[in-house]
Amino acid sequence: MSKGFRQSQAFLHTWSGLLLGWILFLVFVAGTIAFWREGLNRWMRPEIARVEQPMRVLAGSQAFLARKAPDAKSWIIPVATERSPGAQVFWVPQPKPGEEHGRRGRRGRGDTQALIGADGQVAQARETRGGDFFYRFHFDLHYMPVIWARWLVGFATMMMLVAIVSGIVTHKKIFKDFFTLRRAKGQRSWLDGHNATAVLALPFHLMITYTGLVTLMTLLMPWAVVANYNDQNTVFATLFPTASVVERTGRPAPLIDLRLIAADAERRLAAPASFIEVSDPGDAAARVSVSQSASSMLSSRTPRLTYDGVTGLLVWRSPPPGVAAETAGAMIGLHAGRFAGNGGRWLYFLCGIAGTLMVASGLVLWTVKRRERLPDPTRPHLGFRLVERLNVAVIGGLPLGITCFFWANRLLPVALRGRADWEMHMLFIAWAAAALMAFVVRPACVWPSLFAVTGVLLVALPMYDVVATDRGLFASLAIGDLMIAGIDAAILVFGIAFLLLARRVAHHRPVAKRVRRARTATASRVPEAAE
Amino acid sequence: MSILSLLLASAAFFLLGLATEAHHRRRFGACPQAARCKMLRTGGWLSLVVSVAPALLARGWIFGPILWAGAIMAGAGIAFLALNFVPARAMRDPEIPSPSVSASSRLCNGLACRCGASI
């Protein structure tokens, strides 16, 4: 009975892990990188100086918006921090009579936003999505409608949860064999590596998968909302309460200095502010809302304060959220790790790498396990070949694509139209090329060549930064900018890891008595660089 | 304080790892005796439990448990890497008196080791 149950769980584990494993790999890679979203936002705009005085940026933002959009419907100003490249401000113009109210199209988006740099002036930076790309890629994928992508990622996450739980049941010895790593033992090594990355970070894996589902819960399970609310506006009003809207008076009145409001809000909240929203600036009915930064609390549902924009008096304070909303907020906060300082970020990052390795080693394990049982190893059946090639295409190809994305950020001409889009296109072009190669050439050749190219490109990147930008590794270290220096150093380390891996895979000779086990002995190494 | 929590968690997993037969034999050249094994395990679990305290002291009741979860994952990772990748001393540990070594070796060779039987 118990054996039958475990076997059924093994079946479930294998197939739930395999079928969506490639999407999970992508989600894990993008999500892991996205923990350094703010750092990459800066790293990918090397022209921009580090923010030393956030209040100066805020004053500059206000001055800029007052010039640029004095009669806007609203301004949205993120409060700059040391981590951010500046303040990416944007404004919503007054709706023209007859135009649909509250429409938020992407149309003309570039005209209603600007990046205010550390000196309070509009920064002239290259056009890039920066680290935000990885954040969106993590759950919205790319080149497809967002809703489909979220369903796909949501489904993959569900499968991940199934794979984790069934994996615990299947490999019940994982806890006993916790400390065991048998190297150079073929399938055994793969399994040990898979187990180690899974069990060492098991609390993280369970947490990140479950809370990942929570972030998508209103999409995946809308019934509770549908059953209790008639329209979306009521739901939003309940979940994200705001101060009552004031009608525009038409009487001009000067807006108070936003620095005063930010300082007052930070004192009242006893925490840093993250966003300032000004409605009807320059009007007597102006309102200023300040949201608390998510870096200061676990829940992502941060409190808000609303001030009178002319007198600067506090007029509204967000009520404490309900228990369920608070729980969901805490789970989303736990998932995104925005509360974490640099040490915490590193932990999240390392756990993310462990998760990536777990998925990658699981995918490769599928082929390793079946290779020996093939009736004719020189001519494997179609399904086997498909999985084998897809593994090369995704595990080998995606890191190369991401590397090319970083290079595109450095090399594409600043004046290029749609530059930010082309950076992303480069990722997918490189990835597609790698995938094509994976399906045409023998895997034993493609694995090491993809890893080697990725490694060389990654190692060259920090060197290029030293030569061609003002923010090379040494320059960043000299001014104590550890975030940028850390990213350069991490890229270097990953590059070296990829090179070592390529060498190991290339030099490996299959064990004589077993037929075609080209990659098995490198088992515990391959996924290490999969990040 | 968070460093202390991490150190305690690493120590905990290091002790627990040494209590398994394979690692004990690799490090000390002999299968652990039941008593020694029990000592290592108790020490490990105790250290793991104690590592909660500095995490809570450092970050309070909301972030403390999160810090602790991070500390035990990192600690387990450190112990895992150290146990598997730091070269083992070829010589037997001088602290273990030789009779016990031979006794436990015999036990190992004869029967399965009583604790951490991972083979």
- Chain A contacts of B23, Cβ < 8 Å? 179
- A474 closest CA partner among A460, A461, A489: A489
Q: Which helix (H) or strand (E) holds B87?
A: none
CA distance A81 to A78: 9
Examine the domain organization and report whether A147 and A211 are in the same domain: yes
- Contact map slice: A 203-232 vs B, CB within 8 A: 203-204, 207
What confidence tier does A524 reach under pLDDT thresholds 50, 70, 90?
very low
Q: Please check whether residues A375 and A470 belong to one and the same domain.
A: yes
**Quick one: pLDDT at residue A110?**
54
Residue A34 resides in a domain: yes
pLDDT given for residue B111 in this prediction: 41
Cβ pair A58, A79 in contact under 8 A: yes
Q: Is the pLDDT confidence value at A319 over 90?
A: no
Measured distance between the N- and C-terminal CA atoms of chain A, rounded to whole angstroms: 40
Nearest residue, CB atoms, A196 vs list B67, B80, B118: B80
Are A65 and A160 in a shared domain? Answer: no
Q: How far is B77 from chain A (nearest CA, A)?
A: 6
Same domain, A75 and A27: no
Residue A158, domain member (yes or no): yes
Given a cut of 50, whether residue A519 has pLDDT beyond it is no
A515 and chain B in contact, CB less than 8 A: no
Query: How does pLDDT run across A268-295, given as a tens digit for each residue?
Result: 988 889 989 999 998 899 999 999 988 8
Do residues A167 and A249 share a domain? no
Helices (H) and strands (E) in chain B, counts: 5, 0
pLDDT at A100: 54
pLDDT at res. A511: 54
Residues A155 and A40 in one domain: yes
At residue B113, does pLDDT exceed 60? no
Tell me what pLDDT residue A2 has.
59
Out of A292, A318, A344, a domain closes at A318
Put simply, the answer to whether B17 touches A298 (Cβ < 8 Å) is no
Identify which of A493, A427, A476 has the alpha carbon closest to the alpha carbon of residue A42. A476
Mean residue pLDDT of chain A comes to 86
Which residues in chain B touch residue A200, judged by CB atoms under 8 angstroms apart? 73, 76-77, 80
Give A 166-195 residues with CB within 8 A of chain B.
Answer: 173, 176-181, 183
Q: Are A432 and A365 part of one and the same domain? A: yes
- Evaluate whether residue A197 is within a structural domain: yes
* Residues of B whose CB is below 8 A from A178: 16-17, 20, 76, 80
d(CA A198, CA A185): 19
Assigned domain for A330 exists: no
- Our CA-based measurement puts residue A352 at a distance from the nearest CA of chain B, in whole angstroms, of 12
pLDDT of B100 strictly over 70: no
Structure confidence at residue A221 (pLDDT): 81
Residue with the bigger pLDDT between B98 and A146: it is A146
Residue that wins the pLDDT comparison between A179 and A330: A330
Chain A residues whose beta carbon lies within 8 Å of the beta carbon of residue B66: 298, 334
Which of A318, A352, A381 is the endpoint of a domain? A318
| pLDDT reading at A437 higher than 90 | yes
Q: A125 to chain B, minimum CA–CA distance in Å?
A: 37
Q: State whether A439 and A297 are in the same domain.
A: no
CB within 8 Å: A181 and B84: yes
Q: Decide if pLDDT at A187 tops 50.
A: yes
Model confidence band, residue A529 (pLDDT cutoffs 50, 70, 90): very low
User: Which residue of A lies nearest to B75 if distances are taken between CA atoms?
Assistant: A200
How many CB atoms are closer than 10 A to CB A104?
7
Instruction: List the single residue in B with minimal CA-CA distance to A181.
Output: B84
Whether residues A261 and A386 fall in one domain:
no
Does residue A201 sit at the B interface (CB-CB below 8 Å)?
A: yes
Angle between helices A132-140 and A146-170 (to 10 degrees): 80
Using the structure block, give the residue that is written with the tokens 């209590």.
B19
- Judge whether residue A252 has pLDDT over 60: yes
CA distance A180 to A115: 51
pLDDT of A509 reads 65
| Residue A261 confidence (pLDDT) | 93
Does residue A320 sit in helix, strand or coil? coil
For A35, residues 6+ apart whose C-beta sits below 8 A from its C-beta are A337, A345, A348, A349, A352
Say yes or no: A355 and A496 in one domain. Answer: yes
- Overall domain count for chain A: 2
> From CA A350, how far away is CA B74, in angstroms rounded?
9
Mean pLDDT is lowest, of A196-210, A341-355, B104-118, for B104-118
- Triad A111, A114, A119: Cα angle to 5°: 155
Q: What pLDDT, on a 0 to 100 scale, did the predictor assign at position A98?
A: 61
B101 pLDDT higher than 50: no
- Residue A325 domain-assigned? no
Would you call B23 an interface residue with chain A, using a CB distance cutoff of 8 Å? Answer: yes
Q: At A300, is the pLDDT very low, low, confident or very high (cuts 50, 70, 90)?
A: confident
Q: Quick: pLDDT tens for A466-500.
A: 999 888 899 999 988 899 999 999 999 999 999 99
pLDDT at A217: 86
Mean pLDDT score, A401-423: 94
* Domain span at A409: 2-45+132-216+335-529
CB contact under 8 A, A201 and B23: no
* pTM reported for the whole predicted model: 0.86
Please answer yes or no on whether A176 and B118 come within 8 Å at the CB atom: yes
Please choose, from the candidates A292, A289, A279, A285, the residue with its C-alpha nearest in 3D space to the C-alpha of residue A314: A289
Q: Is the pLDDT of residue A102 over 80?
A: no
User: Is the pLDDT reported for residue B23 higher than 80?
Assistant: yes
SS3 labels along A82-119: CCCCCEEEEEECCCCCCCCCCCCCCCCHHHHEEEECCC
Do residues A340 and A283 share a domain? no
For residue range A42-61, what is the model confidence (pLDDT) as tens digits?
A: 999 998 888 888 899 999 99
Cβ separation B20–A180 shorter than 8 A: yes
Residue A123 gets which letter from DSSP?
P
Assess B81–A contact: CB distance below 8 Å, yes or no.
no
Q: Are residues A292 and A408 in the same domain?
A: no
**Could you tell me the sign of the dihedral formed by the alpha carbons of B85, B86, B89, B93, in that order?**
negative
